């Protein structure tokens, strides 16, 4: 049943621009560095002791912003697919449970963001090789910078989806997403417990993995809370 619901959700978002947004996020992040290195490559290389590490840091400086903004847009669009056609009642009239509907929507957005992280890894590696930054290529670092922000942002994903599916006005989750994006801009000044900071991979212990562990753990808590709340609410 869950598998069928997920397939249906993917069919619903066909021709809705979801896949384009999934591509534009990572491409835009790397495109910023294409411009950056295209204009002042020699200067940037002189600033670094490790060209690959410096390049990855530059790429990562835009990743959290793209991730949080992408989460806000995708979750809102996912909920608006039902809102636009007033099809919540028809959907839940089927022999399916509310929790399975909620899980299918979460799974679709999760999959899109995971795919976006895969593209970020490919684009980052490809442009780094194009720049001829030397060897050895830090494959582990590329993986971390590509997937850690996504995993650390899972609480934001769970929260944004929760707000989106229970809101009759999609301006509310969009507003929440904008506020979260503002938080990302000021992440270095935020305390470590703020979930919008975690995708920056910064904390006072200088352990990016800690942000990932917190992201997965708190993300599960927020997901369960959102699912339980959605399950007890009346249909829109």
90-131 pLDDT, tens per residue?
A: 666 667 788 888 999 999 999 999 999 999 999 999 999 999
What pLDDT is recorded for position 93?
A: 66
Which pLDDT value is given to residue 231? Answer: 86
What contacts 137, CB < 8 A, 6 or more positions away?
52, 125, 128, 129
Here the tokens at position 108 are 């679709």
CA distances from 34 to 29, 49, 147, 168, 229 (A): 9, 20, 21, 41, 44
Query: Burial level of 18, CB count in 10 A (0-12/13-18/19+)?
Result: buried
At residue 44, the pLDDT reads: 86
Least confident range of 47-56, 83-92, 138-147, 198-207: 83-92
Q: Can you give the pLDDT at residue 62?
A: 93
Assess whether pLDDT exceeds 60 at residue 6: yes
Q: What angle do CA 210, 144, 186 make, to 5 degrees?
A: 65
Tell the residue number behind the tokens 């410096």, with chain if given.
54
The total number of structural domains in the chain stands at 1
| DSSP 8-state symbol, 95 | S
Model confidence over 49-101: pLDDT tens digits?
888 999 999 999 999 999 999 999 999 888 887 666 666 666 666 677 888 88
Mean of all residue pLDDT scores within the chain: 89
pLDDT at 17 over 90: no
pLDDT of 157 above 60: yes
pTM, 2 dp = 0.92
**By residue range, what is the domain housing residue 176?**
2-232
């Amino acid at each position: 049943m869950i598998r069928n619901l997920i397939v249906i959700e993917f069919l619903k978002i066909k021709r809705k621009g979801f896949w384009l947004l999934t591509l534009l996020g990572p491409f835009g992040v790397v495109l910023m560095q294409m411009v950056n290195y295209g204009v002042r490559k020699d200067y940037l290389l002189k600033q670094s002791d490790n060209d690959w590490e410096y390049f990855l840091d530059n790429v990562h400086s835009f990743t959290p912003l793209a991730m949080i903004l992408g989460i806000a847009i995708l979750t809102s669009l996912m909920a608006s697919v039902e809102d636009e056609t007033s099809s919540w009642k028809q959907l839940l009239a089927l022999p399916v449970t509310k929790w399975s509907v909620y899980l299918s929507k979460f799974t679709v957005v999760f999959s899109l963001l995971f795919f976006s992280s895969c593209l970020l890894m490919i684009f980052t590696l490809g442009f780094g090789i194009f720049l001829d930054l030397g060897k050895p290529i830090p494959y582990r670092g590329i993986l971390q910078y590509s997937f850690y922000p996504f995993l650390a942002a899972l609480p934001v994903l769970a929260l944004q989806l929760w707000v989106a599916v229970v809101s009759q006005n999609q301006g509310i989750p969009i507003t929440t997403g904008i506020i979260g994006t503002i938080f990302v801009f000021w992440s270095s000044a935020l305390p470590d417990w703020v979930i919008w900071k975690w995708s920056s991979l910064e904390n006072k212990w200088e352990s990016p993995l800690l942000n990932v562990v917190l992201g997965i753990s708190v993300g599960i808590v927020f997901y369960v809370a959102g699912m339980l709340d959605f399950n007890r609410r009346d249909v829109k």
